[in-house]
Amino acid sequence: MIKSFALAALIAVLLGFLGFQYYITSVPDLAEPITVEESRFIEQDQSLLLTLRGREGRQFTVGLRGDIANDPEQTALFFISNPDLVPYVYWPGLRSNDEKRVLELLEDMVEKQKQEEAVRQIYEVLKNRN
């Protein structure tokens, strides 16, 4: 009986960790209007970063690392989904579902309103990969 409770507790803890991992690595549904809070280019790492904020205040940081101008196919997408909770940088795989979700988010921003050049740059790199 004790072994059954221990096994059930272990399974519950593992499921909790799985849910938490999904929460910190998923692309959030930001409420419209989505604004660009900050955009910057870091020369040292060849990184382009965007910090987006939804209507309810949720932040989402997305970026590309690599030579965007000369070798966009080799740039790596990364994002921080919940910087206030856990500042975990997630590097989704090339042409993965997470990359497609980021592309859809940026596509909605590009279509609905005039955005900064950084939004368009990241959008164009991701769009040309698919």
Segment 3-39, tens digit of pLDDT? 889 999 999 999 999 999 888 888 888 878 888 888 8
The reported pLDDT for the residue numbered 129 is 80
Cα of first residue to Cα of last residue in the chain, in angstroms, is: 53
pLDDT digits (tens, 9 = 90+) for 48-80: 999 998 888 888 899 999 888 788 888 899 999
The reported pLDDT for the residue numbered 130 is 64
| All residues at 6 or more sequence positions from 65 whose CB lies less than 8 Å from its CB, including other chains | 45, 46, 47, 75, 76, 78
pLDDT digits (tens, 9 = 90+) for 79-130: 998 888 888 899 998 888 889 999 988 888 888 777 778 888 888 888 888 6
Q: What is the pTM of this model?
A: 0.80
Write the DSSP string, 26-86.
Answer: SPP-PPSSPEEEEEEEETTTTEEEEEEE-TTS-EEEEEEES-TTT-GGG-EEEEES-TTT-
The reported pLDDT for the residue numbered 73 is 81
